[in-house]
Amino acid sequence: MLVVIVMVVFSIFFLIPKWAGVDIAASFVGKQADPASIKAVGEKLGLGDPIYAQVWEFFRGIFVGRTYSGGGDVTECAAPCFGYSFRSEQAIWPVLTDRFPVTLGLALGAAVLWLIFGLAAGVLSALKRGTLWDRGAMIVALAGVSLPIYFTGLLSLAAFSYGLGWLDAQYVPLSDSFTGWLGGMILPWITLAFLYAAMYARITRATMMEILGEDYIRTARAKGLREGVVIRKHAMRSTMTPILTMLGMDLGALIGGAILTETTFSLPGLGQAVLNAIKNQDLPVILGVTLITSLAVLIANLVVDVLYAVIDPRVRLA
Amino acid sequence: MTAPLHEPTAEAAPSAAEEAAVAGAEAKAVQGRSLGRIAWERLKRDKLALAGGTVVLLLIVIALLAPVIAHLVGQDPEAHHEDLIDPLFGTPTGSLGGISGEHWLGVEPVNGRDIFARILYGARISLLVGFLSAIVAVVIGTVLGVLAGFFGGWVDSLISRVMDGLLAFPQLLFIIALVSVMPNNMLGLTGTGVRLFVMILVIGFFGWPYIGRVVRGQTLSMREREYVEAARSLGAGRFYILFKELLPNLVAPIIVYTTMMIPTNILTEAALSFLGVGVKPPTASWGQMLSSAIDYYDSDPMYMVIPGVAIFITVLAFNLFGDGVRDALDPKGSR
């Protein structure tokens, strides 16, 4: 189903420029390019063809590669071909594989942090409802979801990197130096995790409180189970279901490009690539990253579906 | 079911639907107070929500009267004051980003535009996009949600699948990409006008499934309730049931989700402007001010703090108010 939607939304990208009368070939080569090369690129991309043919050609290219011919010369794009940037004269796939590890590291590292802190804060708040701890944690969480991530990012940069000089805000690839990589990633991780931990704490608290009111929790308590067991074995399990759904979506979206975080901390990831592409009107890169993101979401959702079966035996039977 | 049993059930139906009824005259559940009144009394006791609501009202007034206030203070958001800028570093002279009796929140680096006036005008952009895109989402979401829940069958499965798909999508990326491929002028609008129009449409379009999902669920459960059955057995037509029986009961969840959606939309607008695909200078917007503040985060930190705090206060106020409205309209809430 998601595949169909990806294809439909994808066609919009081909459709809108056409409908709006934007000269798409020109935006593929650059505004200052001469008319001849614009025309050549237009022919290579088959921009005169109907939309469905263009979309089909694009998806076929991913599996068998694509040869752009027309306008005198031939441009090869080997499989998997996620498009070709005529502006920078390079295929999109190497750009994607180049930047993917940065974004993956950012998303996974932050996810570990926000799951630990978000879940802990949410569960504790639900169990100690109405106490000072609960109120304090929920005020911090509400502030957390109200703060734009690029603002907290800039503040933390100003405070810890420039003000105190504790951390160097420079990205170092993992293959170069582990400690350098770690040092460069700590601030982005904490900033990103703060936002999501706040969201997860709020959701966890609400879900947990609802579940603690369920009949089966009362039954578990009535049959004399210790409170710790009731919470861990009975309440936590049900609480995890909506959390997992959210995690799948959030991780998928982040892996596809944590645009705001990467921009704030100048991390050379997918999000930064797509933003640069948007600023340069380099449409093929936008299309390529968008597609990768959709794939990341698809895969994340699949993993979540499998995990459902682990925590909820009813899903296994169904 | 026997007749004596049936009667009270029909009578009690409105109270069963109380989670949805807001101001319906028929919904007199507890001690003759309408649910709208109960909700209002709960809301009045929730100090945080009231504080949030007050700030929201204040912001709306500020946004509406921005030109008047700026004129009274004697500042123009787009006027340059290069005389207040250190020619060597490009940062404002004077302490704290050039805060003075004349420029209450200082001036911008390089061109010296008055930050107070720009914050005022930025509020207009934020609230305009926040509210209008929420309205777009509510209209699409309510119509499609009711259609899906009321008619069921293939209509329901089609709409539900589309909603699931849109919800699972990495929205920010799509919004950015869509906003950036949109043309620079259309429908007689140009520049800022067209950017606002496109942002409102696109943000609204990606927001409707949140409303649609809730409305569909509510419609689905209410369609089978006794009072709808009663209306049907009295010979009421589909449209009567839709508009007279179902829609009034959907008002509460729609209000709740709308108030929760506005702050998210404001954040999205700020993010778009921050990334340079939203409103462009010289038009003032908070996100765009923050993005130009990146270059001065060490030399002129006040420039970064002010728009950031403006966004924070606005979104926090809406969130506090939204949480309060949700608690007040929730029949299960104990307060």
Distances (CA, A) of B212 to A87, A111, A226, B217: 41, 29, 42, 8
ipTM computed for the complex: 0.77
Q: Residue A119: is its pLDDT beyond 80?
A: yes
Residue B268 in contact with residue B254, Cβ under 8 Å?
A: no
Mean pLDDT for A119-143 is 88
What is the average pLDDT value for chain B, to the nearest integer?
78
Closest approach of A251 to chain B, Cα-based (Å): 10
Question: How far does Cα A5 stand from its chain's mean position?
Answer: 18
Closest approach of B61 to chain A, Cα-based (Å): 21
The H or E element spanning position B186 is: strand B185-186
Q: pLDDT by residue (tens digit) across B254-302?
A: 888 888 899 999 998 998 888 888 887 778 888 888 888 888 877 788 8
The region that residue B236 occupies, defined by phi over 0 for left and psi between -120 and 50 for alpha, beta otherwise, is beta
Mean pLDDT for A104-124 is 91
Hey, which residues does B52 pair with through a beta bridge? Answer: none
pLDDT of residue A111: 92
pLDDT of residue A206: 87
Q: Shortest CB distance from A143 goes to which of B270, B316, B323?
A: B316
**Contact map slice: B 64-103 vs A, CB within 8 A:** none
Which residues of B fall within a CB distance of 8 Å from A20? Answer: 182-183, 186
pLDDT of residue B2: 38
- Name the pLDDT band for B59 (thresholds 50, 70, 90): very high
Q: Which of A163-167, A176-180, A273-277 is predicted least confidently? A: A163-167
Mean pLDDT for B74-81 is 76
Chains A and B: how many Cβ contacts under 8 Å? 131
- Quote the pTM value: 0.81
pLDDT of residue A39: 66
Inspect the interface and report whether the beta carbons of A142 and B319 lie closer than 8 Å.
Answer: yes
Neighbours of A280 (CB within 10 A): 15
Q: Residue B14: is its pLDDT beyond 90?
A: no
pLDDT of residue B73: 75
pLDDT of residue B8: 40
% residues pLDDT > 90 (chain A): 8
Which residues of A fall within a CB distance of 8 Å from B312? Answer: 143, 146-148, 151
Whether A4 has its CB under 8 Å from any CB of chain B: the answer is yes
Distances (CA, A) of B13 to B8, B10, B224: 8, 5, 11
Residue B164 in contact with residue B156, Cβ under 8 Å?
A: no
Angle ∠(B189,B192,B196) on CA atoms, nearest 5: 85
Which residues of A fall within a CB distance of 8 Å from B168? Answer: 2, 249, 252, 297, 301
pLDDT of residue B20: 46
Whether A292 has its CB under 8 Å from any CB of chain B: the answer is no
Mean pLDDT for B318-335 is 75
B79/A115: higher pLDDT: A115
Q: Residue B11: is its pLDDT beyond 70?
A: no
Which residues of B fall within a CB distance of 8 Å from A294? Answer: 169-170
Whether B187 has its CB under 8 Å from any CB of chain A: the answer is no
Neighbours of A228 (CB within 10 A): 8
Which residues of A fall within a CB distance of 8 Å from B163? Answer: none
Q: Which residues contact B90 (CB under 8 A, 6 or more apart)?
A: B109, B110
Distance CA B269, CA B290 (A): 12
Inspect the interface and report whether the beta carbons of A20 and B293 lie closer than 8 Å.
Answer: no
pLDDT of residue A12: 65
Q: Shortest CB distance from B177 goes to which of A143, A252, A278?
A: A278
Distances (CA, A) of B25 to B15, B29, B34, B42, B264: 12, 10, 7, 19, 33
- Name the pLDDT band for A212 (thresholds 50, 70, 90): confident
Q: Shortest CB distance from B168 goes to which of A264, A274, A301?
A: A301
Q: Which residues contact B151 (CB under 8 A, 6 or more apart)?
A: none
pLDDT of residue A197: 92
| Residue of chain A with shortest Cα separation from B178 | A13
- Name the pLDDT band for B23 (thresholds 50, 70, 90): very low
Mean pLDDT for A205-222 is 87
Q: pLDDT by residue (tens digit) across A186-200?
A: 889 999 999 999 999
pLDDT of residue B32: 63
Which residues of B fall within a CB distance of 8 Å from A286? Answer: 177, 180-181
% residues pLDDT > 90 (chain B): 13
- Nearest to residue A155, comparing CAs of B116, B302, B317? B302
Q: Is the dihedral of CA B177, B180, B183, B185 positive or negative?
A: positive
Q: Which residue has the tokens 């957390």?
A: A144
pLDDT of residue B128: 92
- Name the pLDDT band for B54 (thresholds 50, 70, 90): very high
Residue B269 in contact with residue B278, Cβ under 8 Å?
A: yes
pLDDT of residue B5: 39
Q: Residue A147: is its pLDDT beyond 60?
A: yes
| Residue of chain A with shortest Cα separation from B187 | A20
Q: Residue A270: is its pLDDT beyond 90?
A: no
B283/B27: higher pLDDT: B283
B255/B171: higher pLDDT: B255
Mean pLDDT for B55-80 is 84
pLDDT of residue A10: 64
Q: Residue A31: is its pLDDT beyond 60?
A: no
Q: Is the dihedral of CA B32, B37, B41, B43 positive or negative?
A: positive
Which residues of A fall within a CB distance of 8 Å from B164? Answer: 1
Mean pLDDT for B77-85 is 74
Mean pLDDT for A109-120 is 92
Q: Residue A254: is its pLDDT beyond 60?
A: yes
pLDDT of residue B262: 92
Inspect the interface and report whether the beta carbons of B172 and A259 lie closer than 8 Å.
Answer: yes
Q: Residue A1: is its pLDDT beyond 70?
A: no
pLDDT of residue B78: 77
Inspect the interface and report whether the beta carbons of B271 and A12 lie closer than 8 Å.
Answer: no
Q: Which of A9-23, A80-94, A297-311 is predicted least confidently? A: A9-23
**Contact map slice: B 273-312 vs A, CB within 8 A:** 274-277, 287, 290-291, 293-294, 297-298, 301, 304-305, 308, 311-312
